Amino acid sequence: MARRAGLWRPGAAGMAVLGLTLTACGGAKVGDDSAAADSSSGKCGTFNLAVNPWVGYEADAAVIGYVAEQRLGCKVVKKDLKAEIGWQGFETGEVDAILENWGHEDLKKKYITRQKTAVDLGSTGNKGIIGWYIPPWLAKKYPDITNWKNLNKYASRFRTSESGGKGQLLDGDPSYQTNDEALVKNLKLDFKVVYAGSETALIQAFRDAEENKKWVIGYFYEPQWFFSEVPLVHVELPRHTTGCDADPAKVACDYPVFDLDKVVSARFAKSGSPAYDLVKNFTWTNDDQNTVAKYIALDKLSPEAAAKKWVEANSDKVEAWLG
């Protein structure tokens, strides 16, 4: 969700030069030409898969990677990258596919429309929802707090040592797509955005808030397995309308519902790799993703074991992806 989520701009990640600081899973370094796709004539070869920093995406990558290896004979190289950095790898072949794109119309215009180094492969079937949430106990005790117009009345209760005398609005990874700093300013809220740093930190903050009746309000999103543990309550912001978030600095509306989609490199689309067809045909539901994400995050299965468990229980869907 990366800047998932200005959604991942699902807050764009800070720009970095590929190959300097980022390392892929399994030791492959982004920027290493040897990691470029070698697919040709229908043989899979190496399949370079970007993995963005949230467990829902990790679930996507686990299942697609497992099927690509077990059924197509691919050598899958997973690369842990912030959202925007992954797009930079399309031109060189260092990244073949991004499996869960949250909006990013700016990146689509740059890499798909202008540079023509990327291709949109359509919906994953997942619907992405981003917003502000509070723990259930808080909504039950103070029901009017779920309307943004009442937040300033409670701002002092959300103060922390990091929020500088204002209420704290907790966000996740700075690379996530987020309009929250603009929203706080434009809605004239007495809050300061503070970044927890990761999805895990966000989840732990909400879990602790519910268990210990603490005052926490923060950025969160669906699909997300954590709602099955703690049913967070959405805070109503001004309704999203077409174009209300066109200027990132002037955003004063809630996030849209995102039709999450898949993006691949143009060279991968022409490679003849069977992994391309797998990604193109891949579609599943929020419940599917949440199931695999829960296996990984809560049940502590490895991504491979989580994928195997889901694949064995959903062979009809997998066969449809494989055509």
Q: Where are the domains of the chain?
A: 25-126+260-322, 129-257
Q: How far apart are CA 169 and CA 179, in angstroms?
A: 12
Name the residue among 102, 92, 63, 78 with its Cα closest to residue 22: 78
What spatial distance separates the first Cα and last Cα of the chain, rounded to whole Å? 29
Which stretch of DSSP H or E encloses residue 217? Answer: strand 217-222
DSSP per position, 22-73: -B-GGGPBTT-GGGS---BTTB--EEEEEE-SSHHHHHHHHHHHHHHHHHH-
Task: Please check whether residue 194 is in contact with residue 171, taking contact to mean a CB–CB distance below 8 angstroms.
Answer: yes
Which residues contact residue 216 at a Cβ distance below 8 angstroms, ignoring those fewer than 6 apart? 134, 135, 138, 158, 168, 170, 205, 206, 208, 209
Name the residue among 201, 151, 145, 147 with its Cα closest to residue 171: 201
Q: How far apart are CA 294 and CA 164, in angstroms?
A: 35
Q: How far apart are CA 68 and CA 148, in angstroms?
A: 45
DSSP per position, 237-273: -SPP-TTTTSSGGG--SPPPEEEEEEEEEHHHHTS--
pLDDT one digit per residue (tens) for the chain, 323 residues: 644 433 333 333 333 334 423 333 333 434 444 344 444 445 899 999 999 989 999 999 999 999 999 999 999 999 999 878 899 999 988 999 999 999 888 899 999 999 999 999 999 999 999 999 999 999 999 999 999 999 999 999 999 999 999 999 999 988 888 999 999 999 999 999 999 999 999 999 999 999 999 999 999 999 999 998 999 999 999 999 999 999 999 999 999 999 999 999 999 999 999 999 999 999 999 999 999 999 999 999 999 999 999 999 999 999 999 98
Q: Which CATH number fits domain 129-257: 3.80.10.10, 3.40.190.100, 3.40.50.150, 3.40.50.261?
A: 3.40.190.100
Exposed/middle/buried for residue 62 (C-beta within 10 Å: 0-12, 13-18, 19+) = buried
Q: Does domain 25-126+260-322 have CATH number 3.40.190.10?
A: yes
Q: How far apart are CA 98 and CA 95, in angstroms?
A: 8
> Would you say the C-alpha torsion 43, 288, 61, 89 has a positive or negative sign?
positive
Would you state the pLDDT for residue 177? 83
Would you state the pLDDT for residue 1? 60
Which stretch of DSSP H or E encloses residue 303? Answer: helix 303-313
Helix (H, G, I), strand (E, B) or coil at 230: coil
- Residues counted in the chain: 323
Would you state the pLDDT for residue 255? 94
Would you state the pLDDT for residue 228? 87
Which residues contact residue 272 at a Cβ distance below 8 angstroms, ignoring those fewer than 6 apart? 39, 40, 41, 42, 43
> What pTM was computed for the model?
0.77
DSSP per position, 77-118: EEEE--HHHHHHTTTTTS--EEEEE---HHHHIIIIIIS--E
Bridge partners of 79, per DSSP, are: 50
